[in-house]
Amino acid sequence: MAKKLVIKVTAGADAPERCSQAFTVAAVAVASGVDVSLWLTGESSWFALPGRAAEFELPHAAPLPDLIDSILAAGRVTLCTQCAARREITEKDVIEGVRIAGAQVFVQEALADDTQALVY
């Protein structure tokens, strides 16, 4: 099993099941002791903003704010630089603990030894 997990989530409220699956897998991996890096891209970018995850609803799914909190507690959450720029989101706008970084950092993380990358 990979010691590190990099997850890129491209879906938001536009594809709620895919979105929820990404956050759920990331939270379960963190709880299992895996080094997790969750990347918010596309429509999931909005969840880097305070309060936006609370607006997300999916029956029979864990609340998104709880999943984000658990990921931030022991993993990393990164907002894509270009996605942030397209939405006029800056570092001062995001939830504490969320960083903004670009493709170079994503590729570096995804290609590191003992790493599994997933895209939702």
- Tell me the domain boundaries of the chain: 4-119
Burial pattern 41-58, b for ≥16 Cβ within 10 A else e, equals bbbbbbbbeeebbeebee
Q: Given a cut of 80, is residue 1 above it in pLDDT?
A: no
Nearest CA among 48, 66, 50, 62 for reference residue 12: 48
pLDDT digits (tens, 9 = 90+) for 25-77: 999 999 999 999 999 999 999 999 999 999 999 999 999 999 999 999 999 99
List, in order, residues 6 or more apart from 59 with CB less than 8 Å away: none
Partners of 35 in beta bridges: 4
Fold of 4-119: Hypothetical Protein Ychn; Chain: A, (3.40.1260)
pLDDT at 33: 96
Amino acid identity of residue 5, one-letter, is L
